[in-house]
Amino acid sequence: MKKLMAANWKMYKTVEEGVQTATELMQLLTSNSLQDREVLLCPSFTMLGAVGPILSKVPGCFLGAQNFYPAGQGAFTGEIAPEQLKALGCTYALAGHSERRHVLGEPDEFIGQKIVFGLHSGLNMILCIGETIAERQAGKVEEVLARQLAMGLANALSMATAKTLAVAYEPVWAIGTGEVAGPAEIMAAHAFVRAQLVSLLPEYGQKIRILYGGSVKPDNARTIIHLDNVDGVLVGGASLQAKSFSQIVLA
């Protein structure tokens, strides 16, 4: 399985700015072979339609959504359905990002519904998990990760495969803080997630990609990407510029 190098642009950029960054990124990546890497860009909904065709010019680059509502269609003002995302070229979506858990207050059950509905709709899902600093200091890292995985995947076990599911370990205290988790912390968390995945999904658990996210930058990406059980990265701030994200992709 190729490493998945994912960009989460969060609520940044206008359509024009997104098109410009995606265009620059594709220029930087076409001149280099992606080899064992795949690239995923998750921009705001507003620019999915404009950015998708730019990505599709480079094999191995994919478009993803940061969120969706788990229903086919209906009276859900302000929400977006998986079918609407697929119609714009999305093949991936995130669920359970810490900003949605902690800023928007999404509970584990709802995230589990999104994983099921996204897979059912034919999207590849990335389940984001991670502990807060208070949970880490209280010695609860494994308890939190086990709960978020079990509840996120509760009704998805018969649908998830190594192709359709990835997990992103993003310790909340390392997101946007410049404080990257150290290699030992990353390896311990990823080994724990791997063991949980193998126990939940005996057939695919060994191969499901586990991404690391939290202050990944060009100067630490190479070390992180080569750690045991790290099968990719999910990058926020450093993905907003084409140059720095391309350096991470090719690290």
Binding site for ligand 13P (CB under 6 A): 8, 97, 170, 175-176, 213-216, 234-238
**φ, ψ (nearest 5 deg) of residue 23:** -65, -45
> What's the CA dihedral at 27, 30, 35, 37 to 10 degrees?
30
> Taking a C-beta distance cutoff of 8 angstroms, is the pair 79, 107 a contact?
no
Both tokens assigned to 176: 């946007």
Task: Choose the catalytic residue: 99, 106, 131, 170.
Answer: 170
CB of 29 to ligand 13P, least distance (A): 19
**φ, ψ (nearest 5 deg) of residue 145:** -65, -40
Is the C-alpha dihedral spanning 2, 143, 215, 69 positive or negative?
positive
CB of 121 to ligand 13P, least distance (A): 21
Mark whether 16 is an active-site residue: no
Return the amino acid letter for 187: M
CB nearer to ligand 13P: pick between 117 and 169 = 169
> Taking a C-beta distance cutoff of 8 angstroms, is the pair 86, 59 a contact?
no
> Taking a C-beta distance cutoff of 8 angstroms, is the pair 37, 250 a contact?
yes
Select the residue whose beta carbon is closest to ligand 13P and give its number: 236
C-alpha span between 21 and 80 (Å, rounded): 24
CB of 42 to ligand 13P, least distance (A): 8
C-alpha span between 2 and 226 (Å, rounded): 13
Query: Bridge partners of 62?
Result: 40
Mark whether 226 is an active-site residue: no
Task: Choose the catalytic residue: 97, 99, 106, 131.
Answer: 97
Q: Which of 167, 171, 151 is nearest to 205 (CA)?
A: 167
Both tokens assigned to 124: 């590849």
CB of 209 to ligand 13P, least distance (A): 15
CB of 41 to ligand 13P, least distance (A): 12
What are the catalytic residues? Answer: 97, 170
